[in-house]
Amino acid sequence: MTQKRFLSATPSELTAMSPTELLSAIRMSEGRIIRAAARIRGANLVDHVTNAELVAAFGADIVNIDTYDPFNPYIPGWASKDPARDEETEQSVQIPLGQGYTFQEISEIVGRPLSILMFACNPEDVERTEQVYGKGIVATAARMIAARRLGVKHICVSGWARLESFTELFTAVRQELGDDLILQFNRPHGPGILNQKAGFKELITEEEIVSFIQAGVNIVGIPAPGSLPGWDLAKCKHYVDLIHEQGALASLGVHTSQEGAFPQTVEQIALYAKMAGADIHDLGDSGYNEQVPDPLNIFHYSMAIRGRRHTYRRMAMSVRR
């Protein structure tokens, strides 16, 4: 089959693509791909529809199902395949738990390629980090490899650790899986920055970017212009150029609650991110609370970077096509 660009592919074509095909499809789309967060843990923004379905309906191309545990999968809002699993949550918070679906089934029902988020840390901090996030979300090579075996095609790793901890992790995953996984590293905002003497200036360094890509990272995520103090168009473009020179894709993200700002703000950030050279535009989960971006801002962002034609197509195309 001839490789299609992401913008032109149908939902069923996208969800059937391999990791390498998805990367090529993104690369061919000229900086017009939106990845939006949809948190699993917690309430859905709108009743009777999941956060993942909601962001897809408003134009997201890739849905990052944030806090999804591939080893304990569920998607609140859908009826579980075993109705008994929903009894407790239906009675306590009036929502079905949504257990029993494979990763690929969730992707096909939502009609979008999905990514998951994992947090990396130094080996000596794994147990403590697991207590905060849960075991399935803390990145180890074994867990990332196992997640791929369970159908996950795109893992986004974030966190604060020594450079060698990241590179050893990425190298081990690549040695086992080869190109059969989209591996992304994101550091788009500043939790943990208090540990960095240079502050926001060195949120991520050139040495880290080069080392991550050499260790097998396909996509590097940094702040979008105007989303973090000091990160203007020139600074972002400098880092994007470096990422591209190393052969990877650049994701520019809004993860500072500006995903819930006025539409004019979001549209301005969108155009700056495109000018900086973004291959992917990343919208975080804090539109109202930490669940999803403001759905209308996905629409406004999309209109700014790709106009009505591609926005309406992505919103309207049936997941059965």
* SS3 state of residue 118: strand
Average pLDDT over residues 131-136: 82
Whether 195 shows a pLDDT value over 60: the answer reads: no
Beta bridge partners of 155: 116, 183
Contact 173, 216 (CB under 8 A): yes
Percent of the chain past pLDDT 70, that is, above it, reads 96
Give the span between the Cα atoms of 228 and 203, in whole angstroms.
Answer: 10
Contact between 26 and 14 (Cβ < 8 Å):
no
- Please give the Cα distance from 262 to 273 (Å, whole number): 17
What are the residues facing 183 on neighbouring strands? 155
Mean pLDDT over each residue of the chain, to the nearest integer: 93
Q: How confident is the model at residue 193 (pLDDT cuts 50, 70, 90)?
A: low
Q: From the centroid of its chain, how far is CA 179? A: 18
Name every residue whose Cβ is closer than 8 Å to that of residue 78 and which is 6 or more positions away in sequence.
50, 96, 98, 101, 109
Return the C-alpha torsion angle 78, 80, 81, 84, nearest 10: -150
pLDDT at 129: 83
Give the pLDDT band of residue 199 (cuts 50, 70, 90): low
The answer to whether 101 and 75 have CB atoms below 8 angstroms apart is yes
pTM for the complete prediction? 0.94
Q: pLDDT-derived band of residue 290, with 50, 70 and 90 as boundaries?
A: confident
The DSSP output letter for 106 is: H
What is the model's pLDDT at position 136? 86
Q: What percent of the chain has pLDDT over 90?
A: 82
Split at pLDDT 50, 70, 90, the class of 223 is very high
Please report, as a single letter, which amino acid is at residue 115.
Answer: S
